[in-house]
Amino acid sequence: MKKYIISLVAALLVLPSAFSQAPAAVKQTAPKTAVSLTGTFEGEYVFRGVQGGTNVGGAAAALTLPSNTEFAVLGLWDFAGINSTVREFDVSLAQKYTIDSATTVSVGGVGYFYPRATAAKGETNYSLEAFASLAYSAFLNPTVSAGYDFNLAQLFAEGSLSQPVKLFFLADGFKLVPSATLGWVSAKDALPEKRGRSVKDAYYYATGKLDFVYETKNAVVGVGYRYNYLDNSAVTKNTWVGGFATIKF
């Protein structure tokens, strides 16, 4: 496992250097330092098309430096009545590069940590991945991402579209935000801690969201409807409601 950690760190160090030596067409913007705090609650927890729980709350903090470096920490909790238990912590680091006025490339890595998992039971207690994404700021704001999870020997690719629609019949700041995501995942060992033969898995998924959002200069709140379609040997469909609130500094 140490070699995987070394590989991830090396990728984060080498990729920014490679971009900095690319042709002059790659230009790096220099925004001010920004901080955001976000709280979420989802009736169902769905990650890359797979449902992993119900009634899950989240809290995230993100820091963006003038160098376009982004650092974020996310915590997720399962809620049952008034009680809650920690299910997951995620730590991510990414570097963004501006190609032109509309195109942005991001490279980085994410560590997923599961406090309740027990390796002795074959449960994965952490996972590390590297990723790259390309975002285009235009109509429908298309974004494509791909990456590799070292622990699961997993490749994944995802494309998404999203388009805010202003609600002119309401006060300034209100809008509807529909979005759609289509993804593919293929793991050579979906349960790396389990003894015996590797558990392989590959599937496709599609997720749609429709959020009713109110945004000001320093805050965004939204609530909406979600739908997920998963094709993994059998077809599974899920619908639920979720919401979020973000404060920006």
Task: Supply the CATH number for residue 231's domain.
Answer: 2.40.160.40
Partnered with residue 16 across adjacent β-strands are none
pLDDT by position in tens, the chain (length 249): 434 444 444 444 344 433 333 344 444 445 689 999 999 999 999 999 999 889 999 999 999 999 999 999 999 999 876 567 888 999 999 999 999 999 999 999 999 999 988 877 888 899 999 999 999 999 999 999 999 999 999 999 999 999 999 998 898 999 999 999 999 999 999 989 888 889 899 999 999 999 999 999 999 999 999 999 999 989 999 999 999 999 999
Angle (CA) 221 179 215, round 5°: 20
Q: How many domains does the structure of the chain reveal?
A: 1
Cα separation, 63 vs 61, whole angstroms: 7
Partnered with residue 178 across adjacent β-strands are 210
Residue 209, amino acid:
K
| Residue 86, pLDDT score | 85
Question: CB–CB of 201/187 below 8 Å?
Answer: yes
Distances (CA, A) of 139 to 40, 181, 200, 246: 27, 16, 38, 24
Cα separation, 17 vs 5, whole angstroms: 19
Question: CB–CB of 182/158 below 8 Å?
Answer: yes
Angle (CA) 86 248 71, round 5°: 55
Domain that holds residue 140: 2-248
Task: At 155, list the tokens.
Answer: 């490749």
Residue 78 backbone phi and psi in degrees, to 5: -90, 130
* Pairing, β 174-187 against β 143-149: unpaired
How many CA atoms are closer than 13 Å to the CA of 201, on its beta-carbon side?
A: 16
